[in-house]
Amino acid sequence: MRIATDGYIDLRDGRRVKTPGLYERTVDPLPEGEAVAFLLSHSFPGHRKMVRGLTLADRERLRMAMWADSVSARMSIVDRVWRSLTEEVLPLPDMDEPQLIQILQYKHWAYPVYLDGPSTRIAPPGGLPVAELSDASPVFRLDAMTA
> Per-residue DSSP letters for 70-126?
SHHHHHHHHHHHHHHHEEE-PPPTT--S-EEEEEEEETTEEEEEEEETTEEEESSTT
| Least trusted range by pLDDT, from 27-41, 79-93, 121-135 | 121-135
pTM of the model: 0.74
Query: What's the average model confidence in pLDDT over 12-27?
Result: 63
- Top pLDDT among 20 and 134 is at 134
Query: What's the average model confidence in pLDDT over 128-144?
Result: 75
**What's the pLDDT score for residue 21?**
61
Q: pLDDT band at 62, cuts 50/70/90?
A: very high
